[in-house]
Amino acid sequence: MSDIADITKFFFELGTLKRTERAGWSVTGISKPEVIAAHAYRAVVIGYMLAELEKCDKNKVMRMLMFHDIPETRIGDLHKVAASYLNSEEGEAKAAADQSKLLPSSVGNEYVELNLEAAVTAKEYLVNGYKHSEEFLERIRKVMVTQSAKKLLAEIEKSDGFWWKGLKKNV
């Protein structure tokens, strides 16, 4: 059974995600990639929208996404090449199990990989001249399942990423 001190430790451990860069982007030559916390936040919002489009349980999807990267506070963020040499799934599972001991038993440890967030990031890097980000988009295309996710991915790929264009006209 966890107590307030353990939950507090967990909160401080989460701060690691604000300082840990996502490793996969560095392989493509991006010198200052996003941090895990930024990725996780956008993944929650995208998951919410996808759940709405697919008429799924939005709360469950958001809970899953809120927790999906937390083990990386202990094992780091391994890019696909590094992960191919290690059993990162086993390490993530062990980290999650250890972390869950700090939390009330009513808090579930649900995990999901949301590739649309990575697609948005890949497109942003692509627009900014990192041509190798296209490889991430190619991989993501292969794993999209729902029609909504496929439609969103197509729109992401068409976009130039400059969301603010034309905004002044509406103000």
Summarised one tens digit per residue, pLDDT across range 68-101 is 899 999 999 988 888 889 888 788 878 887 887 7
Q: How confident is the model at residue 2 (pLDDT cuts 50, 70, 90)?
A: low
Query: 4-163 in CATH: which number?
Result: 1.10.3210.10
Question: What pLDDT is recorded for position 136?
Answer: 86
Q: Where are the domains of the chain?
A: 4-163
R_g over Cα of the chain: 17
Rounded to two decimals, the pTM is 0.76
Cα separation, 1 vs 125, in Å, equals: 44
Q: HEC profile for 53-120? A: HHCCCHHHHHHHHHHCCCCHHHHCCCCHHHHCCCCHHHHHHHHHHHHHCCCCCCCCCCCCCCHHHHHH
**What is the distance between the alpha carbons of residues 64 and 136, in angstroms, rounded to a whole number?**
23
- Write down the pLDDT at residue 107: 65
Name the more confident of 104 and 65. Answer: 65
Quote the tokens at residue 115. 């590739």
Dihedral angle computed from the Cα positions of residues 79, 48, 56 and 24, in that order, rounded to the nearest 10 degrees? -10
Tokens 């991430």 correspond to: 136
